[in-house]
Amino acid sequence: MADSAKPRFPARLGRLVFAPSQGLAALLERRSGGLRDALYLVGCGLLAFRLPDLVRALLAGLRISPTAGLQRFLGVVASEARTAGFVVLASAVVITLLARRTRRDPLLGLELGSACYAPYFFVWAPVRLLDGESGLGYPPLLLSRIVVVVAWVGVALFAALALRQLWGRAAPSPAMASRRAGRLGLSLLAALALAFVWSATWSVRHYELLRPLGPSDLAPDFVLPRIDGQSGVVRLADLRGRVVVLDFWATWCPPCLAMLPMLHELHGELRGRGVEVIGINADGAAVPREEVRRFLARRPFPYPVVADDQEVGARYGVYSLPHLVVVGRDGRIRRVFVGGVGRDPLAATLAAAVAE
């Protein structure tokens, strides 16, 4: 088989991608390591293709709060791991169910299913290099669909090879030397390293785009139409001289809805002291505008509610809900709350802003 009992990750990767029968046979012999290598690929994907999102999470932790940064970081990691988890679990279930009864081991099926993520990852890699913020340009929809089909065909072929190994029907093939497998694996990792360098360079050049708005930043002006049954628009510049709370919310967001009674109360208590609350609905295309209007008719707001045009949320760095921005009398941001806030911290922030 191999000339190394415990090959390193590059060698395991090279053998799995360029000699999959041997890679799966080695994994079957070790009975471990497939899930670990899939996690390595998830980490590679984060660094190569999601670096701008990781930088944004770091900056959110520095400029807004550690909690906001951690929340955003976990969201990025979860979104990257979600696809890998689906491929791994789907493959593991198929392999386990179709294996011979004498070799029906869920843990072994999970290890072999994890190996099926490698073809999916590398088939998708060129498209991911094109896609996203730091990409070279969004690929055509037809190309993306073709790549999806090819990626899943690769997964199916790997699962079939794993089953042949379990059934004992795999034909022997010349073993690939660990040194050659290591070079091939390093070539794959080098390509991912180049993607990382590209993303890092883009992130440095677009620092201002990635930097979330935080305390002392000038709040971007906007003009948005009201959707609360009242005609007209809301212009942030018209509220200069007052303390403004911008509440980005959505009808499908339970934490947003849980905060509404508290915001309604604070608005009633502090409006006479120069505090205005603006509800900015971020449902977008996910929920028809008429449905949002019906929601507002059932649960009327005591302050204006406008519809985000998606650009305003992007300018304020809204990537999760709820998201509250407190703007001072001078039009500069006093504080940002991501993921919800209790009454006392928000009331204290507003009292300090009013006193300035």
> Left, alpha or beta for 219 (phi > 0: left; psi -120 to 50: alpha)?
beta
Above 60 in pLDDT, residue 1?
no
Above 50 in pLDDT, residue 159?
yes
Give me the mean pLDDT over the 52-79 stretch.
Answer: 93
Is residue 178 in some structural domain? yes
The answer to whether residues 181 and 281 belong to one domain is no
pLDDT band at 354 (very low <50, low <70, confident <90, very high): very high
The answer to whether residues 152 and 180 belong to one domain is yes
**Which residues is 234 bridged to in the sheet?**
224
Is residue 216 in some structural domain? no
Q: Half-sphere exposure of 141 toward its Cβ, with a 13 Å CA cutoff?
A: 0
pLDDT number for residue 178: 81
Cis ω for the linkage preceding 322 (within 30 of 0):
yes
The answer to whether residues 82 and 198 belong to one domain is yes
pLDDT number for residue 87: 97
Give me the mean pLDDT over the 209-213 stretch.
Answer: 88
Question: Which CATH number covers residue 326?
Answer: 3.40.30.10
Please report which residue ranges of the chain form alpha helices under DSSP H: 9-18, 20-30, 34-49, 51-63, 66-98, 106-115, 117-130, 141-167, 178-205, 207-210, 254-270, 289-298, 311-315, 343-355
Give me the mean pLDDT over the 274-289 stretch.
Answer: 90
pLDDT band at 256 (very low <50, low <70, confident <90, very high): very high
The answer to whether residues 117 and 247 belong to one domain is no
Percent of the chain with pLDDT over 70: 94
Above 80 in pLDDT, residue 5?
no
Distances (CA, A) of 350 to 4, 160, 241, 275, 328: 65, 62, 14, 8, 9
The mean-pLDDT minimum among 1-10, 86-95, 224-233 falls in 1-10
Residue 212 DSSP code: P
pLDDT number for residue 346: 95
Range of the domain at 129: 9-210
pLDDT tens-digit series, residues 123-135:
999 888 887 666 6
pLDDT number for residue 3: 45
The answer to whether residues 234 and 180 belong to one domain is no
The answer to whether residues 349 and 205 belong to one domain is no
* Among the listed residues 122, 117, 45, 128, the one whose alpha carbon sits nearest the alpha carbon of residue 86: 117
> Greatest CA span in the chain, whole angstroms?
82
Above 70 in pLDDT, residue 264?
yes
Beta-carbon contacts of 95 under 8 Å, excluding residues fewer than 6 positions away, are 109, 112, 113, 159, 162, 163, 166
- Within 10 A of 199 (CB to CB), how many other CB atoms are there? 24
In angstroms, rounded to a whole number, what is the distance separating the alpha carbons of residues 309 and 355?
Answer: 33
pLDDT number for residue 177: 78
pLDDT number for residue 102: 67
Q: Half-sphere exposure of 298 toward its Cβ, with a 13 Å CA cutoff?
A: 6
| Count of domains observed in the chain | 2
Give me the mean pLDDT over the 25-49 stretch.
Answer: 93
The answer to whether residues 131 and 252 belong to one domain is no
Q: What is the pTM of this model?
A: 0.82
Give me the mean pLDDT over the 9-29 stretch.
Answer: 92
Is residue 215 in some structural domain? no
The answer to whether residues 107 and 167 belong to one domain is yes
- The per-residue pLDDT of the chain, averaged, comes to 90
Above 80 in pLDDT, residue 199?
yes
In angstroms, rounded to a whole number, what is the distance separating the alpha carbons of residues 312 and 117?
Answer: 37
Is residue 13 in some structural domain? yes
Is residue 4 in some structural domain? no
Q: Half-sphere exposure of 38 toward its Cβ, with a 13 Å CA cutoff?
A: 27
Instruction: Tell me phi and psi for residue 226, to 5 degrees.
Output: -75, 145
Above 70 in pLDDT, residue 172?
no
Give me the mean pLDDT over the 218-234 stretch.
Answer: 93
pLDDT number for residue 208: 87
Give me the mean pLDDT over the 154-168 stretch.
Answer: 91
